[in-house]
Structure 1
């Protein structure tokens, strides 16, 4: 239950095995590839012995993979959105598989064939839509001219000309008055609240005057060159539209039939994403026409498994493997952090990750805060019904294969359901109802007892945090720091507890004096220790006095733990109030609207209770507990692996 011990792996092989080795490492999912061209002290040998080898360009291959991924994503979306709804889409059911198995079943030529087939259908579908759009636009236009009863192309008079135009409805009255004053013949073909379509007939001798008038009122000319009247043309368009709609339905059926291959497309996408991740690290290792050399980080204890795995896959005689301890520079600047905890503790690692991972030589706080988080979360939700509902829901969810992050989140709340049920039984609360026995702690009568218990839990956690601070200082051989940062503060707390017991509960003056003496002695140690450590005694004294002033912060920390009492009581009280509200309803309403109301109100209360407990429980760890001993700042271990978008990749052994 700590930070995993890491070693630096070196692998050397012939160039011809490079892709096979990278695929094997990705399937093993336990090696983070180092960047050999990063300017660090431990990579100076690369400059010395491999000066002529530059990082391999990988942009062309990456562009090809990205293009294929875009095609797959677009093809899936197109089939889903435009395929016939009668055809059922067969999405890849999430499962577990090895990368080796996925890549063995991957057929790039079959993928390209399917993509080409879908692209052909998409092109036909797009062309059909474009034709329909064009015809609909033409139909909308001709519907406004269908009253036209002559063909402009057949109009041929020696002294008379015509004009087809559209005027703005707001200017039509003025324009019409001008036409009447100039004794020009016109006829309205169509009008609505926005436009007026008209035919104007005039003498050719009046052409200049008419053009000036049309320009003055911004009349838009309409040109009609068809061989049939607009009404006949509309009939032809509507017939063509019916044919296009029928063809579109045919295409939709063909597209819908492609839903059966969505599984194959998603599997291919998973494999291509794995290929992409391999190519993204192609500039981190050394590779020429003869040699392939890479370095990486892996857990020390997994090296034997990795060595056996690679020997079986590649052949022991075809590669060289060794591990070495990280240097001080690598520990300071580069080495990643990988947490290693029991299965019950592992889901709580996400809380540590949200704050900051520990540095390589720092203590992992996860197993230390996990028991407290369990108690605190259960104490803040404190309803056996809510806990039972959590347990059932998460257990059902975990019976299916979930994405890694969702699986860890579900297991996290599955574990938290247990203390929630236990505290619900202690408080005698089941969806806000009493279970029919006297509660061990009553949220209405034992408020002070619950408050004291909350502070006791806080004292215990802070005491452990100070012990971890002392432990970390001792590990760093800073023994005086262990006293001033840990043991002395523990002494003050113990002294205060002993003194309080002696004065208020046992009425024992000797015990009171012992407690006061221990607290005073510890306070003096907090002041003196920095003076011993510092060259300037005055500065050391000031630093020690300032550190002792931090005792006010400890009072605030203890007050923070009172939220355990407040949230636990408020959640149960709100649930009971909801029950009372529905209980006042008439029987008919109670068993109709009341049921719906109960589901909605308790659903809201569960959500708010879980959210509050999650957030405030984390806050107590981050501020009150971590602040005593934990620094963080570690870099996460990022092994070469797959995206696991559709499939949980099993670690190959």
Structure 2
């Protein structure tokens, strides 16, 4: 349950080996390369490789040739290599051969039925038909009624072959001697023939001759073009070609073995040895927490040196969702459906729903609610907890205030926890002013924590052994933190050796900080009250299910159908709303206090990212 530890791997190869290195790296998913620009400095005197990619131009030319003759090129396995001169000669050859085919395609707009008829004519040989000295051929589609009239013509100077027919047309091939060609064409025009030119060359035959090699050359160019795009990751230091990047610490030895058989050297080092490089972030969590990585990634990945918040997000999300959507039966459906979808579809959101369903079941049991039936678990509660009816009656008027106060109390605890996380992270980053004097640092923790104690002492004085309202304590735990909020910038400058005087002068500084301190104090109030929605949605869920149960009683024999549809409606509508509100609390009330989200995603080497 942490951010995966990385090793900085640098591969050293000669001029004749670095392309093989790139080819092997492409097939390895656990390598995050660093662009050459990040590795070049005055000390190593390195330079980036020329990224001119002539193979990309070859690809475009081949695609255009294929498109001109209606042949879709698809890259396949590479069977052999081709020199640039060989590729250029081949492109020139096929361009010349396919030029006539392309011209023919531009002149002809054929339907599917036309193509069927033309395919039958192809067997006679297009070239042979055009080379006949004494016989002329024609092709076209006749209306079905006109085709019947052909048999009524007394003097026929032509022969006709039926090629294809549909409901409205008949496609024919006719032949006549050159002596009668004009007469025959006039006859066909009188029958409303729609002429289809017979191609002078058989483009399909030519295409078949070149198709295999065209695909081979295209595949080689596509593969080589992808490799060339990766040149941006290679640094040339004299005769040494270097490729550097990060690999997970656990797979570092496997990465080294990737280059067995090549005359290369692989150096492994800690990321700290290259401070100019920012290690990428790869999250690795236990099965229970893993789907919640989606919420973290949506907000932004943590920095490599920070803390992975996924377990905290998983626990708090499930806790808040379960409280707001507490129903044993509906929670069970969410649990089963979510986990099944996660297993079948590998959908992370479904996994989150399944885990949230578990906490919904727990709180549904505590609230005594099963598909909206509020009395079903009463005997169980009476037996386990020794209560008269059930442990907690949500819809009881006396339960409303404790429910809302409890929601705010949960929010206060979560706010304090996020402050502790923020203090830890800022100490780790060596940002001591933020850790000590900010609203989410030690000063904020003391201020907010003491306000909570003050409220407890006001409403439940017996719980505290001291009076939190005494002036000395108020000055120490409320007044001093407020002063620290106000003086955070000067104190930060003092700690960095920049002096106590603010950059903008004391006058402007004081004016700005007064309003900022007021905003901080108000934010504590609004952030705490934001958690009222937790209690509000508990009441909302119970109220909606009360409406469903009332409708069930009113509809008589249709009650079971209403019961099922009502539960599904509440699950869909309120489940979505509660999920959104819980995520809002995660992002705006918790993440905003401690999470920066400036991490760099671990991305395998790929030409798509080049």
Give the TM-score range, shorter chain. Answer: 0.5 to 0.7
Q: How does 1:9-28 map to 2 (within 5 A)?
A: 9-14=9-14, 21-28=21-28
Distance 2:59 2:304 in 1: 34
Q: What do the CA deviations read for 1:439-458 (whole angstroms, capped 9, x no partner)?
A: 43322122222211211111
Summarize the Cα distance change of 1:53–1:499 in structure 2 as closer, same or farther, 3 Å threshold: closer
Summarize the Cα distance change of 1:512–1:295 in structure 2 as closer, same or farther, 3 Å threshold: closer
| Match in the other structure for 2:514 | 545
Q: 1:443 aligns with which of 389, 394, 398?
A: 394
Q: CA deviation at 1:575?
A: 3.1
Q: CA deviation at 1:24?
A: 4.0
Q: What do the CA deviations read for 1:462-495 (whole angstroms, capped 9, x no partner)?
A: 1122222222332233434322211111112221
Summarize the Cα distance change of 1:608–1:523 in structure 2 as closer, same or farther, 3 Å threshold: same
Q: CA deviation at 1:557?
A: 0.9
Q: Does 1:639 align with 2:598?
A: no
Distance 1:136 1:500 in 2: 95
- Ranked by relative contact order (alpha carbons within 8 Å, sequence separation 6 or more), the top structure is 1
CA RMSD of superposed structures (Å): 4.8
Distance 2:65 2:539 in 1: 57
Contact 1:583 1:590 in 2 (8 A): yes
Summarize the Cα distance change of 1:498–1:618 in structure 2 as closer, same or farther, 3 Å threshold: same
Summarize the Cα distance change of 1:393–1:287 in structure 2 as closer, same or farther, 3 Å threshold: farther
Q: 1:423 aligns with which of 363, 385, 389?
A: 363
Gaps of 5+ in 1: 77-102, 110-122, 155-223, 235-271, 644-653
| Match in the other structure for 1:129 | 113
Number of aligned residue pairs: 476
Q: CA deviation at 1:387?
A: 1.9
| Match in the other structure for 1:385 | 329
| Match in the other structure for 1:626 | 591
Q: 2:479 aligns with which of 520, 544, 566?
A: 520
Q: Does 1:483 align with 2:432?
A: no
Q: What do the CA deviations read for 1:535-564 (whole angstroms, capped 9, x no partner)?
A: 145555445533421110111111111111
Contact 2:59 2:222 in 1 (8 A): no
Contact 2:7 2:270 in 1 (8 A): yes
Distance 1:287 1:510 in 2: 71
| Match in the other structure for 2:244 | 295
| Match in the other structure for 1:358 | 302
Contact 2:51 2:231 in 1 (8 A): no
Distance 1:391 1:273 in 2: 47
Distance 2:274 2:263 in 1: 32
Aligned residue for 2:252, secondary structure, equals helix
| Match in the other structure for 1:586 | 556
Contact 2:49 2:234 in 1 (8 A): no
Q: CA deviation at 1:27?
A: 4.1
TM-score (norm 2): 0.65
TM-score (norm 1): 0.61
Deviates more, 1:358-367 or 1:289-298: 289-298
Q: What do the CA deviations read for 1:196-246 (whole angstroms, capped 9, x no partner)?
A: xxxxxxxxxxxxxxxxxxxxxxxxxxxx9546996xx99xxxxxxxxxxxx
Distance 1:599 1:279 in 2: 60
Aligned residue for 2:233, secondary structure, equals coil
Contact 1:388 1:417 in 2 (8 A): yes
Distance 1:57 1:385 in 2: 64
Contact 2:51 2:229 in 1 (8 A): no
Q: What do the CA deviations read for 1:499-556 (whole angstroms, capped 9, x no partner)?
A: 2222221267942325634223332333344443441455554455334211101111
Contact 1:466 1:628 in 2 (8 A): yes
| Match in the other structure for 2:455 | 500
Summarize the Cα distance change of 1:131–1:473 in structure 2 as closer, same or farther, 3 Å threshold: closer
